Amino acid sequence: MTLIVDLGQSGSRIRVGEKIITSTRGKLAGEHPLPALRAIFESTEKLESQVVALSCTGFGGVVTDPQPFAQLCNEFFGAQQTAVIDDGFAGFVGALGGSNGVVLSIGGGVVSVGGRQQAFAHRDGLGSTFGDEGGGFWLGKLGITKALGVRQGRGEDRILLDIFGEHIHAYNELDVKNGPEAASLSIQAAKDLLYAADQQSPLAIAIRDEGAALLAQTVVATWLGVGGSEKESPEIAIQGGPSRNSAYVELIQHNITKKLSHVKFIEPRGDNLDGAHWISENIPADVSPLLRWAAN
């Protein structure tokens, strides 16, 4: 029985059989996936599995040496084989189930993976400092920034200021204003930024609309990057926490159709856990640079 791990920025999940274990511990800002996984495994109950599949944020589309991951999984689970998978690739396989198209995954960060006739393309996933435009960190960070500015008299938006009251208080309580706790706070604030836009906050609307345009640009670049054309009808799935806001998804879709008028928007058929599981059972060889296997 394969043990599946989904490591994200806002938390993690482990699935073995029908059992799912969730944790609020994810990959912290600036942290490599390996120590994040170790911290999660150290706080997880004893589990055993010969095969482990790891869907991990933080690779930026290029999975690093898989051997240290295999050693980690052998240490904690007795694993003999480990698949190390870029989370965007796991999300793509889980959501589309092999169809030609693009999966946009929006969590704390952003990753977009496209597939067409067994060729793959990866866009964004560049991390919160230089990328992840339109993702949870990006939305929440800009929301807090603007709310703090309004509080100082640098702008007017009472709706945003009222909705972000708790986030401003949490910001005030931070000992270090630019550390991992600040990044986590930004991700947590993303939901309220989109809610503030729904409540007609002018500043929040501007941030939301820019984010939707940037994410649409990412999707289009992914499809063209895999050799797709504007005349084709790829399936497009949008998933992740911020995608629960229907207005945000509709804006992303609207911007996509300006460039790709024949796309088919679908609901994801599965998630990263499903994708990583399918990969572990059906793709026994590396798909460089998105999937790498290692054995003990």
pLDDT digits (tens, 9 = 90+) for 170-225: 999 999 998 888 998 999 999 999 999 999 999 999 999 999 999 999 999 999 99
CA distance readout (Å), 57 to 62, 105, 209, 265 = 11, 11, 25, 24
pLDDT of residue 61: 86
Do 98-268 and 2-90+272-295 fall under one CATH topology?
yes
pLDDT of residue 128: 86
pLDDT of residue 125: 87
pLDDT of residue 275: 94
Would you list the domain boundaries of the chain? Answer: 2-90+272-295, 98-268
Q: How far apart are CA 63 and CA 118, in angstroms?
A: 18
pLDDT of residue 16: 94
What's the chain's length in residues?
296
Which residue stretches of the chain have pLDDT < 70? none
Q: How far apart are CA 186 and CA 171, in angstroms?
A: 9
What's the one-letter identity of residue 218?
Answer: T
Question: Do 285 and 57 contact (CB within 8 A), yes or no?
Answer: no
pLDDT of residue 56: 95
CATH classification (class only), 2-90+272-295:
alpha beta
Second CATH level (architecture) for the domain 98-268:
2-Layer Sandwich (3.30)
The reported pTM is 0.84
HSE value, Cβ hemisphere, 13 Å, CA-based, for 280? 28
